[in-house]
Structure 1
Amino acid sequence: MTALLLFGDQLGPHFYTGHDEILLVESAAALRRRPYHRQKLHLVLSGMRHLAQELGDRVTLVRAETYTEAIRAFGRPLVAHQPGSIAARDMLHRLGVEVRPTPAFALSRDEFTAWAGTRERFLMEDFYHFQRSRFDVLMDGDAPVGGRWNLDVENREPPPKRAKLGVPAPWWPEEDEIDAKVREDLDALELPAVGKDGPRRFAITRAEALKALETFVRDRLPHFGPHEDAVLTKDWTMAHSLLSVPLNHGLLHPLEVVYAAEDAYRAGEVPLASAEGFIRQVLGWREYVWHLYWHLGGKYLHRNNFQASTPLPDWWAELRPRTVRAACLRTALEGVRDHGWVHHIQRLMVLGNHALQRGYDPAALNDWFVTSFVDGFPWVMPVNVIGMSQHADGGVIATKPYLSGGAYLNRMTDHCGGCWFDPKKRTGERACPFTAGYWAWMDRNESQVRANHRMGRAVQNLRRLADLDEVRVQERDRELF
């Protein structure tokens, strides 16, 4: 009889239904291969062990040094679904394991390949329109509900003038004896982990994932849209779903998530802008990122349009932000340290923006996002980091670099009022490293961005700066943030 090999991100029933014998592997080598976030390691082991307990005799859970050792010791034919990395797929091929299409995404690889055709640029908005039509989500016949595909303009309100958004709290899981044993085993392994340990804040069983989805759609999705792009120092979850972990561990199917949000809108329980903004993240961006990972291939990881080569500083790589004076950057790094998670604006417009301005090596930055975030997997980050954040692909997936100065951060976060730096200053001791860094980056890369029609005004403004020489020297020598 052929058994099914499941990886730690393939834990939902759409993976194993119809299979009587299942193999799960805890590989010590995989756990210590990189400096993963401690909470990420916990989630992976907790998820596999909870599934093994739930399915009982159907599961063989093998603890081995490597996957290769475990699969060979198992000694029987295996099939597997397409895993979440090129390296894992290649390993399965070497070991003679049959690889079948994954059931974890709405769109199949063949359908994506047909959509991609001969395109050389892949704009998410085009793909998103295709997805909405293909799966009949928020559609009135052939037209989008409300007459517009994208309501992002309604979801850009700055943070409220209070410490917290004031929405119902997220649903939190309760740890059990399996979590306690995972924590004990991780302590004994002494892995090269980063970040702080627990408590476990993310759903990692099917029952937990369903509860988290139900609670989010009922209590928090109605409030999600307007402040989707805002950041509050003392409210790390705001109205975000926290569903990226159960989705990326395969515990929820994207269509059940999307249809739950659509049903709430059609029942009059959720505003269209909130439902659409959330659905765009799941049915649009998440599916787009998965398919482009495979479509663009392993060489995409080495794209480096701006020839950025600065190594990640130790305080960044090791999540030691205590001495960082820039409030927005310190808060984002503290969030990664404490939870292994910050929301998309902190990832893109704080962490990614800083890394772009400082010329961090894109491949190293991508690895850091994969290992330091609890929802990070090899397929998740390349389009997010190499493409959208760092524009290292030269415009394959985005029309311009996601670059901003302190003015944007001052408008969309509550950090700047209490920060040592002044977002309005680009020179001097208290010059905001984002404001000054913006102009220093523009100066270094003017020849490459000059022809970009979306950067034309910024290039013109650069040429008008009377203090550009001072900015150049200041940012070349800046060491503290």
Structure 2
Amino acid sequence: MSAPVRLLFGDQLGPHFTDDHDGELLLVESKQVFARKRWHRAKAHLVLSAMRHRARELGDRLDYRQAPTYGPAVRDAVRRGAEQRPLQVLHPTTYAAVRLVERLEAGEAAGLDGRGLDVERLDARGYVNSRADFTRWAEGRGGRRLLMEDFYREARRREGVLLDDGGGPAGGKWNFDHENREPPPKGAVTLGVPEPWWPEEDEVDAEVRRDLDAWEAAGEVSFLGRDAPRIFPATREEALTALEHFVADRLPHFGAHEDAVLEGDPWMAHSLISAPMNLGLLDPLEVVRRAEAAYVSGSAPLASVEGFVRQVMGWRDYVWHCYWHFGDDYRHRNELDAREPLPRWFAELDGSATRARCLAHTLDQVAEHGWVHHIPRLMVLGSYALQRGWHPEEVTDWFHRAFVDGYDWVMVPNVVGMSQHADGGAMMTKPYTSGGAYLSTMTDHCGSCELDPKVRVGDDACPFSAGYWWFLHRHRERFGANNRMVRAVRGLDRLKDLPDLVAQEERRGSSPP
């Protein structure tokens, strides 16, 4: 029997997806992917650049096909004369891709005419914990709710990460969150740490830009955001360089201010490696080991290293497994019955539409880079959408398209479960939203904003301070029974201006503040 052809998807681009395979590799570039939805221009550029760079690296080992749809491209790739070779597939990262594999197997994909392919499916790669590990952990809880913290500790024990000689957590604690919640330094414009390492574009990027410009000019595709020089790694070598620079220059400063925001410093001390990691250019366990080595050598403090490790092998892995554990229908959950459509000004990244400085600045940053770090995503963009009652499926789709590191498996649990609390608490015990006081403490937006975080009603009212109480008012009964929310709900009874606040917010609806 002929050696199988291994099909790679566009987020399986690192050596850990190919090094155990001596046969032919297949990668399909389909323009239709970019035609079906309006992606951020920076995301389209990054994905195509990464795929084409990988094709150049692999040379004759890779059959790189540009085709309208996958079915005919895969069919033609596995044929060798009259022979049809088997196809090998590493577990894809989305339900849609799994369904594509099933259609290839059944002969139902476009161009197969009912002649199914012989498909060998391999386990997923690019995550610290296997799906079998997660299933054993989840089933072993005896009906208790899933908690990321418990999952994270189990994963660290299994992999021996940041443990002392007795098998306990280094430093005597599993979690250094308390030390990692400092507001931005008073009066600072930046954190004062070196900027991230930036890649230099090459002829592959020039070719990608020409193609995207041509497709857009022909009306075949349309993009969100702005075109700009590529700032995220598109190759394994670039990703490793970015990782090394982060560990040396930025990881030591990461922990304390990881939840803080400064307008003059969009990167703070964050790693910016989520995009190359989600393209498969870095394996998360190698990232974790590199950070751990910085702690062991004394070049980075434990609180910073633990906070970063928790993001990579804790939250990132947990989100991946929740995506599969909760099932494909999870994306449709809407327990808060949020029905308002995403407004055009927000969907189009129009920061000029709003007087609220935090919203304007964050939307402008997304338009420019296709990226902001986790606090603007969660506590500005996501929190505002939650307070306004925007439909969670629309919010999920927007995050997926607008962010360079956004993939279905990333955004469905992050938005449905965490940001929009649309699963009713299956993933997180309380909604992540706040009034203006939190933003005033953890960001420097309020200092340059004409709206006042201390004011709830009136022309200078902060939309978050008003929106927070409007949200609680709408869901008073539900959250009044939540132990983590009952105190906040009781606060509604102390608001003498609540009727005026509710009337104001109902008038405002989804209009820009």
Q: State TM-score, norm by structure 2.
A: 0.92
Q: Aligned partners of 2:74 and 2:469: how far apart in 1?
A: 53
1:12 partner amino acid: G
- Shifted more, 54-63 versus 118-127: the winner is 118-127
Q: Aligned partners of 1:277 and 1:119: how far apart in 2?
A: 28
Please list, as runs of the form range in 1=range in 2, the aligned pairs for 1:17-28 lying within 5 A after superposition.
Answer: 17-19=19-21, 20-28=23-31
Q: CA deviation at 1:119?
A: 4.0
Q: Aligned partners of 1:409 and 1:26: how far apart in 2?
A: 42
* Residue in structure 2 matched with residue 223 of structure 1 by the alignment: 253
* Residue in structure 2 matched with residue 121 of structure 1 by the alignment: 145
Please list, as runs of the form range in 1=range in 2, the aligned pairs for 1:19-168 lying within 5 A after superposition.
Answer: 19=21, 20-74=23-77, 75=79, 76-96=85-105, 97-117=119-139, 119=143, 121-140=145-164, 141-160=166-185, 161-168=187-194
Whether the 8 Å contact between 2:16 and 2:125 is mirrored in structure 1 is yes
1:105 partner amino acid: Y
Please list, as runs of the form range in 1=range in 2, the aligned pairs for 1:386-465 lying within 5 A after superposition.
Answer: 386-465=416-495
Percent of pairs with identical residues: 58
2:13 partner amino acid: L
Q: CA deviation at 1:233?
A: 0.8
Matched position secondary structure for 1:62 = strand
Q: Aligned pair 1:350/2:380, yes or no?
A: yes
- Shifted more, 107-116 versus 71-80: the winner is 71-80
Give the counterpart of 1:328 among 346, 351, 358.
358
Whether the 8 Å contact between 2:28 and 2:73 is mirrored in structure 1 is yes
* Residue in structure 1 matched with residue 512 of structure 2 by the alignment: 480
Matched position secondary structure for 2:380 = helix
Q: Aligned partners of 1:128 and 1:296: how far apart in 2?
A: 18
Root-mean-square deviation (Å): 1.0
- Shifted more, 339-348 versus 323-332: the winner is 323-332
Q: Tell me, which stretches of 5 or more residues in structure 2 are unaligned?
A: 80-84, 106-118
Whether the 8 Å contact between 2:39 and 2:224 is mirrored in structure 1 is yes
Moved beyond 3 Å, runs of 4+: none
Q: Aligned partners of 1:131 and 1:277: how far apart in 2?
A: 15
Whether the 8 Å contact between 1:39 and 1:197 is mirrored in structure 2 is yes
Whether the 8 Å contact between 1:121 and 1:395 is mirrored in structure 2 is no
Q: Aligned partners of 1:119 and 1:176: how far apart in 2?
A: 53
Whether the 8 Å contact between 2:455 and 2:462 is mirrored in structure 1 is yes
Q: Aligned partners of 2:434 and 2:128: how far apart in 1?
A: 34
Whether the 8 Å contact between 2:13 and 2:54 is mirrored in structure 1 is yes
Q: CA deviation at 1:189?
A: 1.1
Q: Aligned partners of 2:94 and 2:345: how far apart in 1?
A: 28
Matched position secondary structure for 2:260 = coil
Matched position secondary structure for 2:484 = helix
Q: CA deviation at 1:463?
A: 1.1
Deviations 1:276-330 (A, max 9, x none): 0000000100000111111111111011111001100111111122121111111
Q: State TM-score, norm by structure 1.
A: 0.99
Q: Aligned partners of 2:433 and 2:349: how far apart in 1?
A: 23
Deviations 1:429-477 (A, max 9, x none): 1110000001111110001100111112111110111111000110001
Deviations 1:73-100 (A, max 9, x none): 2234211111111011111111023321
1:154 partner amino acid: E
Whether the 8 Å contact between 1:120 and 1:396 is mirrored in structure 2 is no
Q: Aligned partners of 1:187 and 1:125: how far apart in 2?
A: 45
Q: Tell me, which stretches of 5 or more residues in structure 1 are unaligned?
A: none
* Residue in structure 2 matched with residue 360 of structure 1 by the alignment: 390
* Residue in structure 1 matched with residue 9 of structure 2 by the alignment: 7
Q: CA deviation at 1:411?
A: 0.2
Q: Aligned partners of 1:459 and 1:105: how far apart in 2?
A: 39
Whether the 8 Å contact between 1:4 and 1:80 is mirrored in structure 2 is yes
2:341 partner amino acid: P
Cα 1:297–1:407, aligned 2, differ >3 Å: closer, same or farther? Answer: same
Larger radius of gyration: 2
1:56 partner amino acid: G
Q: CA deviation at 1:120?
A: 6.2
Q: Aligned partners of 1:192 and 1:480: how far apart in 2?
A: 24
